[in-house]
């Protein structure tokens, strides 16, 4: 197991380095830079503009800018924000728990809904509940996140007035905190649940038709034991893949939801940094999110080997 983990880690190093290179050059394809944004269109002072570009290092050739940033990155330094002057790492770590909070809540909602419904519909294939669940999952896949979020805001904030429409409070086990989390997490969780439910149902249908399931039933095991002990563990293998992809994508993919609900996480920070042409912040966020996605993929590989011991023999 240790050898496999080390191999996976070494294989991700060139991927992360490649992402860092791409992030550096792609963000500079956007017209304008930090100096243009700070000075605005109605103010022009060539001397001040030249001084500001020298201060930020934007007067240097692109290869020199890249080497300065990349060499610092290899030492674990993501640089300083051009907008706030704060270290990029500090800004990321300040907002990271806020995005993680939203991601975990969305995943819990997704799992709470999708796994039981997927198992139930697989056991009741082609019945009324199965048809209703498939229609609901199709609707969940079709609805854009931002539209669902706006609809929930209208229902629970504007019409009923029971939940706040936007904002965030520091984490605490109080209703005042969790009421700000409900709408954005439900919006994200329902979309994730639609995908996970369909995958769980499909995987369970395949597993429940296997010979070892029929053997377990022939031995006199109860249906609950057959489904949960013998069927679910094997059916979860492709589901874990989907959950891993969703978890990695959640951190960077909450951009729209964070904008709709004014949630001050990494997604909203990334959008603001792009608008400000804050190159170090955009590059740092991109590398950080890529690292997290790679970390989740490693965890999924380890989970595979727990759920399917045959993976040990495959190396």
Q: What is the pLDDT of residues 83-102, one digit of tens each?
A: 888 999 999 999 999 988 99
Alpha helices (H) along 76-174: 88-123, 128-142, 145-153
Give the Cβ contact number of residue 244 at 10 Å: 19
66: left (phi over 0), alpha (psi -120 to 50) or beta: alpha
Distances in whole angstroms, Cα of residue 222 to Cα of each of 208, 229, 237, 305: 14, 10, 23, 27
Cβ-Cβ contacts under 8 Å for 215 (sequence gap 6 or more): none
Query: Is pLDDT above 90 for 37?
Result: no
Beta bridge partners of 80: 87
Q: Is 57 a domain residue?
A: no
Contact indicator for 133, 121 with CB cutoff of 8 Å: yes
Query: Is pLDDT above 60 for 314?
Result: no
Q: Is 44 a domain residue?
A: no
Q: Is 105 a domain residue?
A: yes
- What SS3 state is found at 295? helix
Read off the CATH number of the domain in which 161 is found: 1.10.3720.10
Q: Is 33 a domain residue?
A: no
Contact indicator for 53, 35 with CB cutoff of 8 Å: yes
pLDDT digits (tens, 9 = 90+) for 221-261: 888 888 888 888 788 888 888 888 787 777 766 788 888 89
The per-residue pLDDT of the chain, averaged, comes to 86
The helix (run of H) or strand (run of E) holding residue 274 is: helix 266-276
Q: Is 238 a domain residue?
A: yes
Q: Cα–Cα distance between 78 and 285 in angstroms, integer?
A: 9
pLDDT digits (tens, 9 = 90+) for 158-198: 999 999 998 888 888 888 889 999 999 999 998 889 889 99
Band (pLDDT 50/70/90 cuts) for residue 313 is: low
In this prediction, what percent of the chain has a pLDDT beyond 70?
94
What pTM did the predictor assign? 0.85
Q: Cα–Cα distance between 169 and 142 in angstroms, integer?
A: 31
Total of domains in the chain: 1
Cβ-Cβ contacts under 8 Å for 155 (sequence gap 6 or more): none
Q: Is 58 a domain residue?
A: no
More confident: 204 or 300: 204
83: left (phi over 0), alpha (psi -120 to 50) or beta: alpha
Contact indicator for 166, 261 with CB cutoff of 8 Å: yes
Q: Is 25 a domain residue?
A: no
Could you tell me the residue range of the domain that residue 140 belongs to? 96-264
Q: Is 36 a domain residue?
A: no
């Amino acid at each position: 197991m240790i050898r496999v983990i080390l191999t996976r880690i070494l294989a991700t190093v060139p991927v992360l380095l490649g992402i860092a290179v791409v992030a550096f050059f792609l963000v500079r394809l956007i017209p304008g830079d930090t100096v243009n944004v700070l000075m605005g269109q109605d103010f022009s002072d060539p001397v001040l503009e030249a001084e500001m570009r020298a201060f930020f290092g934007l007067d240097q050739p692109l290869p020199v800018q890249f080497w300065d940033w990349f060499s610092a990155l290899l030492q674990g330094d993501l640089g300083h924000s051009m907008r706030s002057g704060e270290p990029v790492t500090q800004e990321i770590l300040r907002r990271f728990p806020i995005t993680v909070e939203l991601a975990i809540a969305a995943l819990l909602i997704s799992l709470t809904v999708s796994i039981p419904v997927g198992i139930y519909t697989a056991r009741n294939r082609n019945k009324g509940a199965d048809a209703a669940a498939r229609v609901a999952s199709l609707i969940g896949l079709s609805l854009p996140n931002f539209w669902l979020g706006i609809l929930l805001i209208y229902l629970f904030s504007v019409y009923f007035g029971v939940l706040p429409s936007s904002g965030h409070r520091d984490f605490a086990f109080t209703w005042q905190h969790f009421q700000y989390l409900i709408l954005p997490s439900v919006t994200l969780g329902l979309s994730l649940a639609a995908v996970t439910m369909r995958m769980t149902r499909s995987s369970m249908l395949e597993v429940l038709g296997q010979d070892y399931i029929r053997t377990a039933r022939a031995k006199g095991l109860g249906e609950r034991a057959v489904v949960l002990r013998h069927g679910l563990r094997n059916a979860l293998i492709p589901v874990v893949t989907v959950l891993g992809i969703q978890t990695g994508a959640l951190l960077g993919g909450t951009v729209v939801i964070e904008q709709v609900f004014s949630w001050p996480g990494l997604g909203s920070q990334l959008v603001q940094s792009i608008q400000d042409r804050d190159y170090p912040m955009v590059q740092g966020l991109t590398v950080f999110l890529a690292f997290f996605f790679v970390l989740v993929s490693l965890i999924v590989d380890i989970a595979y080997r727990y759920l399917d011991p045959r993976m040990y023999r495959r190396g």
